[in-house]
Chain A
């Protein structure tokens, strides 16, 4: 540590730290524009000039490293004169259009002009005007306001890993732009709104809708992926006007994915269910809560009376709150059924007993920054958990060797040191080859049953490289992504990936699908475990069992099974055939009107209190910050009353905290673990002929809210569904020249635009789920593909 003096006050500092960091830590404000603690130092704006002893000229605090005994003045006449002069230059070309600028009231330039500017400008010449390009539906541009701090450019280059904005031109003609007009494609582009210190880059959906001083910020947590990014919801009256990141260095740092930032636009979507409805003689009627809840309880009870409690089942969405999951399973189990599941995107649930209390990352999110090597298995992490990809990129910039075994050669925002892109059916062979190579490196005996699996598997140099990279790294991780969850042999892949982790000394982690999977497991929203991970008294049916068995009654919580379930067609058919379907839902769709009997409108996350448990196992509570619209009620309250009406004990909660406390007590003994006890997977199915489907949920199709955010749906990442295959496959199936193809899977057929994509391996066609166009496809291993006229 060195000691320096700022404004006469001694301050301890890390040697090599920049003056501005040291001053910030000591609570001494130095004005700045281009400096940002998460970005590289540009030292271009010169707003941070300070006086340093024995130096004739003022120095930029952001680019001046501290040295022992340094004496600094941030408010001396010399420093202030320098700061005032820089401010005068910055304002020369600035339009000073604060009254019509969205940044007004929270603008660094406005604030600093108040503090350091002159009251009248001495500049009488003409100001520069810069054209404002259209860079997509999320970010509005007013480039005349830009002060060329280049934060937005550095963000793209350094943090997001896609440099889309740059500074073309020179001198007077230099400006920030894309040169070729285009929409930003980054899934993190909204962060430049926060970074821009002036009103040059602002939120497009928020434009002209509120002033910052009218807004009240409420802390919340994003439900769209397992990171649980911390949010500020800015509320005016009863409306969420915009969403900003809430700084948390352990989770999202200062960033948000666009999905977290712009999903709020779906709060007022026209498909919101605003009042309870019941179906009478095939026609829907809007009724009061009492009538609807009584009808729901009556419906469930009559299934029990006419059939049995095990004819009841519950399907929950990934984004429900932990309290909702807990009460849902308590209701079902109270009625005598263990048929409850939230894993509606998992085809293979065979290893469910081996999974510890919840799918865990195996480390803290912040630990990812320091990895030296990582193997991603079946993960498009950049689009699945954008903020995890950001940390992996940070690791890669620090020299980490990142590797992937994937069914598609996904575009990552970090370089891969090794990759294997194979047909999904061959992924287990890849893991076996890596494990085999580790066994050779370790000189270790193969675990039981492994030799039989490894017979005939060829170990390539690439596998050896992956094995060695993992083994040689001080900090290594093997992480499975969502493609594994959707995979028909998920169980085998989990076992093999965890074996690779064990043999290489790497941490094993699951990047779980959906927002609150961890909360769902802990709350007991799985058939085989009760709250706190305790085994069920008798194993209930998982969602596949519930769907294929055709139960008589279902409770559906915050999910649209026709899209959110990986076999949406089958789920929809099972619900339609049931006697009684009670849907607790924020939105109502035509499909729901068709299969449901009672519709109960429940709140979306900004409107309810609750808890999200993220992939690290961190419980993050949040409060409701707006009154729900219409007759909408928080889901936990609806479930509580349903419990009461079903005459169940233990449903007398006054606040969601009481629910959480009860559950936390049940989970008190739970220790996060990602250890899977090795059990050799049954012989792996050999690949038949025909095309197999690579399935994933596109970033803006993962849940009902995201699907209804108009701005997100207008970005390049949004898709209405296309079929992708490589040119060789297209030629083999005679569709090379077709614009559209007909895809048939499990008897369901759809017609999709064809896109030739060389990143898709042979033998496969990539068809996303979660979109209406492919919702009728089923889950069979092979599908048929023909040209559509």
Chain B
């Protein structure tokens, strides 16, 4: 059996994961898996390699497939290299009713990529996500940790121009 290499997680990552593990009872340390995956993703330019997921599994005493299940379930985790700016467009029901299709169309035209793709220069990744919980200001997109609401093509252009 290939041994997962816990060392792939940086000491800083491991220390941060430990603070999450400490929040749960000792026999439930796998509850920290979502935080651990986010931390692992952050240390690796925003995406998770299989080896990193295996390291998380070993670190938390889980079977690898259980970690893959989590990582493939949530759209916040990236399993392939992503652009510097990950643009998550909500296409769920409220946003759909409020014009998310136009948002997607405009972004695709402006960036020259389709949903799920990354620009050749590695600057942008365009991603479709489920409800971001901000329906009240639909349509909505998330870039990094920031929400952008009531989007229009003009607003989108301004936002993109403002990204370094």
Most chain B C-beta atoms within 10 Å of own C-beta, residue among A164, A165, A173, A179: A179
Complexed CA–CA distance, A162 and B69 (Å): 15
Residues of chain A with a CB closer than 8 A to B63's CB: 162-164
Majority secondary structure, A binding face? loop
Interface residues of B in 46-83 (CB under 8 A from A): 50, 63-66, 68-69, 71-74
The proximity string for A residues 160-182 relative to B, scoring 1 for CB distances below 8 Å and 0 otherwise, is 00111111111001000011100
Contact present for A180 and B64 (CB under 8 Å) = yes
Within 8 Å by CB of B66, from A163, A170, A180, A411, lies: A163
Q: List 15 A–B pairs whose Cβ atoms lie within 8 Å, in order of A's numbering.
A: A162-B63, A163-B65, A164-B63, A165-B65, A166-B68, A168-B65, A168-B71, A168-B72, A168-B73, A169-B73, A170-B73, A170-B74, A179-B65, A179-B68, A180-B68
Residues of chain B with a CB closer than 8 A to A165's CB: 65
Chain A interface residue count, Cβ-Cβ cutoff 8 angstroms:
15
Closest chain B residue to A173 by CB distance? B72
Given A165-B65, A179-B65, output 19 extra A-B contacts at Cβ < 8 Å: A163-B63, A163-B65, A163-B66, A164-B65, A166-B66, A166-B68, A167-B69, A168-B69, A168-B71, A168-B73, A169-B72, A169-B73, A170-B72, A170-B74, A179-B50, A179-B64, A179-B72, A180-B64, A180-B68
The smallest C-beta distance from A416 to any residue of chain B, in angstroms, reads 14
Closest chain B residue to A166 by CB distance? B65
Contact present for B69 and A166 (CB under 8 Å) = yes
Closest chain A residue to B68 by CB distance? A179
Complexed CA–CA distance, A499 and B68 (Å): 48
Contact present for A180 and B50 (CB under 8 Å) = yes
Complexed CA–CA distance, A163 and B61 (Å): 13
Residues of chain A with a CB closer than 8 A to B50's CB: 179-180
The smallest C-beta distance from B5 to any residue of chain A, in angstroms, reads 15
Residues of chain B with a CB closer than 8 A to A411's CB: 1
Most chain B C-beta atoms within 10 Å of own C-beta, residue among A168, A169, A170, A173: A168
Interface residues of B in 66-108 (CB under 8 A from A): 66, 68-69, 71-74
State the total of A-B contacts with C-beta under 8 angstroms: 35
**A-B pairs with the 10 shortest C-beta distances?**
A166-B65, A168-B72, A179-B68, A163-B63, A170-B73, A166-B69, A169-B72, A168-B68, A168-B69, A163-B65
Residues of chain A with a CB closer than 8 A to B65's CB: 163-166, 168, 178-179
The smallest C-beta distance from B109 to any residue of chain A, in angstroms, reads 26
Complexed CA–CA distance, A273 and B63 (Å): 46
Residues of chain B with a CB closer than 8 A to A180's CB: 50, 64, 68
Residues of chain B with a CB closer than 8 A to A164's CB: 63, 65
Complexed CA–CA distance, A290 and B41 (Å): 76
Closest chain A residue to B63 by CB distance? A163
The smallest C-beta distance from A478 to any residue of chain B, in angstroms, reads 28
Complexed CA–CA distance, A180 and B1 (Å): 14
Residues of chain A with a CB closer than 8 A to B69's CB: 166-168
The smallest C-beta distance from A760 to any residue of chain B, in angstroms, reads 15
Residues of chain B with a CB closer than 8 A to A167's CB: 69
Residues of chain B with a CB closer than 8 A to A179's CB: 50, 64-65, 68, 72
The proximity string for A residues 140-174 relative to B, scoring 1 for CB distances below 8 Å and 0 otherwise, is 00000000000000000000001111111110010
The smallest C-beta distance from A182 to any residue of chain B, in angstroms, reads 10
The smallest C-beta distance from B81 to any residue of chain A, in angstroms, reads 18
Complexed CA–CA distance, A168 and B65 (Å): 8
Complexed CA–CA distance, A203 and B132 (Å): 44
Residues of chain B with a CB closer than 8 A to A170's CB: 72-74
Complexed CA–CA distance, A179 and B73 (Å): 12
Residues of chain A with a CB closer than 8 A to B71's CB: 168
Complexed CA–CA distance, A164 and B73 (Å): 17
Closest chain A residue to B65 by CB distance? A166
The proximity string for B residues 141-154 relative to A, scoring 1 for CB distances below 8 Å and 0 otherwise, is 00000000000000
Complexed CA–CA distance, A451 and B74 (Å): 63
Residues of chain A with a CB closer than 8 A to B1's CB: 185, 411
Complexed CA–CA distance, A185 and B2 (Å): 12
Complexed CA–CA distance, A166 and B72 (Å): 11
Residues of chain A with a CB closer than 8 A to B73's CB: 168-170
Closest chain A residue to B71 by CB distance? A168
Complexed CA–CA distance, A180 and B49 (Å): 11
The proximity string for A residues 291-323 relative to B, scoring 1 for CB distances below 8 Å and 0 otherwise, is 000000000000000000000000000000000
Residues of chain B with a CB closer than 8 A to A168's CB: 65, 68-69, 71-73
Interface residues of B in 112-154 (CB under 8 A from A): none
Complexed CA–CA distance, A512 and B63 (Å): 32
Interface residues of A in 434-478 (CB under 8 A from B): none
The proximity string for B residues 1-14 relative to A, scoring 1 for CB distances below 8 Å and 0 otherwise, is 10000000000000
The smallest C-beta distance from B115 to any residue of chain A, in angstroms, reads 14
Closest chain B residue to A179 by CB distance? B68
Closest chain A residue to B73 by CB distance? A170
Closest chain A residue to B50 by CB distance? A180
Complexed CA–CA distance, A163 and B69 (Å): 12
Residues of chain A with a CB closer than 8 A to B64's CB: 179-180
The smallest C-beta distance from A399 to any residue of chain B, in angstroms, reads 13
Complexed CA–CA distance, A178 and B73 (Å): 14
Complexed CA–CA distance, A173 and B68 (Å): 14
The smallest C-beta distance from B4 to any residue of chain A, in angstroms, reads 12
Residues of chain B with a CB closer than 8 A to A162's CB: 63
Interface residues of A in 250-298 (CB under 8 A from B): none
Complexed CA–CA distance, A411 and B65 (Å): 18
Complexed CA–CA distance, A116 and B161 (Å): 58
Complexed CA–CA distance, A511 and B72 (Å): 43
Complexed CA–CA distance, A7 and B68 (Å): 44
Residues of chain B with a CB closer than 8 A to A169's CB: 72-73
Complexed CA–CA distance, A173 and B50 (Å): 19
Closest chain A residue to B70 by CB distance? A168
Closest chain B residue to A178 by CB distance? B65
Complexed CA–CA distance, A45 and B153 (Å): 43
The smallest C-beta distance from B37 to any residue of chain A, in angstroms, reads 13
The smallest C-beta distance from A754 to any residue of chain B, in angstroms, reads 17
Complexed CA–CA distance, A411 and B63 (Å): 14
Most chain A C-beta atoms within 10 Å of own C-beta, residue among B63, B72, B73: B72
Interface residues of B in 23-52 (CB under 8 A from A): 50
The smallest C-beta distance from B43 to any residue of chain A, in angstroms, reads 21
Residues of chain B with a CB closer than 8 A to A166's CB: 65-66, 68-69
The proximity string for A residues 403-443 relative to B, scoring 1 for CB distances below 8 Å and 0 otherwise, is 00000000100000000000000000000000000000000
Residues of chain B with a CB closer than 8 A to A163's CB: 63, 65-66
Residues of chain A with a CB closer than 8 A to B74's CB: 170
The proximity string for A residues 386-414 relative to B, scoring 1 for CB distances below 8 Å and 0 otherwise, is 00000000000000000000000001000
Closest chain B residue to A180 by CB distance? B50
Residues of chain B with a CB closer than 8 A to A178's CB: 65
The smallest C-beta distance from A715 to any residue of chain B, in angstroms, reads 14
Complexed CA–CA distance, A164 and B64 (Å): 8
Complexed CA–CA distance, A411 and B3 (Å): 13
Most chain A C-beta atoms within 10 Å of own C-beta, residue among B65, B66, B68, B74: B65
Complexed CA–CA distance, A178 and B68 (Å): 9
Complexed CA–CA distance, A411 and B72 (Å): 28
The smallest C-beta distance from B58 to any residue of chain A, in angstroms, reads 14
The smallest C-beta distance from A181 to any residue of chain B, in angstroms, reads 11
Closest chain B residue to A171 by CB distance? B130
Closest chain A residue to B54 by CB distance? A180
Complexed CA–CA distance, A180 and B65 (Å): 8
The smallest C-beta distance from A280 to any residue of chain B, in angstroms, reads 53
The proximity string for A residues 756-769 relative to B, scoring 1 for CB distances below 8 Å and 0 otherwise, is 00000000000000
Closest chain A residue to B53 by CB distance? A179
The smallest C-beta distance from B129 to any residue of chain A, in angstroms, reads 11
Complexed CA–CA distance, A173 and B65 (Å): 16
The smallest C-beta distance from B122 to any residue of chain A, in angstroms, reads 25
Complexed CA–CA distance, A178 and B67 (Å): 11
Complexed CA–CA distance, A168 and B53 (Å): 13
Residues of chain A with a CB closer than 8 A to B72's CB: 168-170, 173, 179
The smallest C-beta distance from A532 to any residue of chain B, in angstroms, reads 47
Complexed CA–CA distance, A180 and B74 (Å): 18
Complexed CA–CA distance, A168 and B1 (Å): 21
The smallest C-beta distance from B25 to any residue of chain A, in angstroms, reads 17
